[in-house]
Amino acid sequence: MNHIFTNNEGVPFEVDNSEIIQKFSSITGIKERRYATNEENSSDLAAKAALKAIENSNIDPETLDYIIVAHNFGDTDFGSKQSNSLPSVASKVKTILGIKNPKCVAYDILFGCPGWVEGVIQASAFMKAGMASKCLVIGTETLSRVIDKSDRDSMIFADGAGATIIEKQNDKGGILSNESVTYTDNNEIDMLFFGASYEKDNTDQFIKMQGRKVYEFALSSVPVAMKECFDQSGFEIKDLKKIFIHQANEKMDEAIVKRFYRLYKEKVPEGIMPMNIEEHGNSSVATIPTLYDQVLNGQKEGHKLSKGDVVLFASVGAGMNINAITYQV
């Protein structure tokens, strides 16, 4: 409430902050966000999520073939102006977990908000190629360290981490299909970027986005990628139980799903899309795994999953990148 929000020329808005926040919440659906403590970093959040995933899957972490960590800004110490990705966040997570096996390969991927989904796609490819049997895929971010407090768009961003164990199984189900695309030929690359503060005389760089262009791009391109992915699964649209979409903006996500079903000439089924953006905000690579974890553990009222259910993961973000996975529980 005490921030001074300005336009991109550094001129303060004339309206009261309460009006800015009310309008922001009505559009994005965000009422709360979660920030890391001052002592925590992206690698710390990642390690906590990883420990939970390892415990839930009941595996020996020394048997992991890969640790794949998706993020965008690495470790950024509280109060620092510099991102630290050397060594990789994945290597730091492996160290925190105490994994000694040198054949457990740890690396990071930069793919914008769709990074966790892309990490899962890569893990699946390793298994199909016979290169791995167990992978740990993590999405972690501390966006609160790289936001411009004078930019009202910065209110959308939050911190978080989600992790999952991807394991090769002989059972039916698992990852049925996937789709990944990158758009750069129509100035999409400039829709999300690192840019100067709106605050005058502040030369620091912060995460920036062209909100309207991102919205329009997502509505025109994401439903198509989702359909191309789902059509490869062999299932009918009526078989789809849940859509776990990147928690970017409530109204945008609702519009994406509506357009996705319109491609099938169908109406959006009630309860198809769980959301947690209201209390968690947009934590980039962490939104989908944290939301999926909540639904799996019965923490989202009105949403549950059963063995054999078919779900769709989908995300869009800086690049501009879009990806999707059809998955059978």
Instruction: Give the amino acid at 277.
Output: I
Residue 160 lies in domain: 42-171
* Same domain? 182 vs 235: yes
CATH code for the domain of 99: 3.40.47.10
* Same domain? 131 vs 218: no
Residues 72 and 175: their CA atoms lie apart, in Å, by 25
* Same domain? 324 vs 295: yes
At 38 the pLDDT is: 94
The answer to the question of residue 13 being in a domain is: no
pLDDT in tens, the chain (329 residues): 566 776 666 677 777 777 877 888 888 889 888 999 999 999 999 999 999 999 999 999 999 999 999 999 999 998 887 788 889 999 999 999 999 999 999 999 999 999 999 999 999 999 999 999 999 999 999 999 988 887 777 888 999 999 999 998 877 789 999 999 999 988 888 888 888 787 777 778 888 888 889 999 999 999 999 999 999 999 999 999 999 999 999 999 999 999 999 999 999 999 999 999 999 999 999 999 999 999 999 999 889 999 999 999 999 999 899 999 999 99
* Same domain? 313 vs 257: yes
* Same domain? 48 vs 166: yes
**DSSP β-ladder status, 66-70 and 134-142:** parallel
* Same domain? 103 vs 140: yes
> Do 124 and 175 touch, CB atoms closer than 8 A?
yes
Catalytic residue among 41, 282, 321, 323: 282
Question: Which of 125, 147, 171 is a domain's end point?
Answer: 171
In the block, tokens 């920036």 appear at 208
The answer to the question of residue 32 being in a domain is: no
Catalytic residue among 104, 113, 135, 229: 113
Instruction: Give the amino acid at 161.
Output: A
- pTM over the 0.85 mark: yes
Residue 135 designated active-site: no
Catalytic residue among 246, 249, 276, 321: 246
Question: Which of 171, 202, 230 is a domain's end point?
Answer: 171
Domain count, the chain: 2
Residues 188 and 186: their CA atoms lie apart, in Å, by 5
* Same domain? 242 vs 230: yes
* Same domain? 188 vs 300: yes
> Do 202 and 147 touch, CB atoms closer than 8 A?
no
At 150 the pLDDT is: 77
* Same domain? 195 vs 323: yes
The answer to the question of residue 50 being in a domain is: yes
First and final C-alpha spacing in the chain: 43
The answer to the question of residue 15 being in a domain is: no
The answer to the question of residue 26 being in a domain is: no
Question: Which of 140, 171, 202 is a domain's end point?
Answer: 171
At 187 the pLDDT is: 86
Residue 113 designated active-site: yes
* Same domain? 137 vs 203: no
* Same domain? 237 vs 144: no
* Same domain? 92 vs 218: no
Residue 282 designated active-site: yes
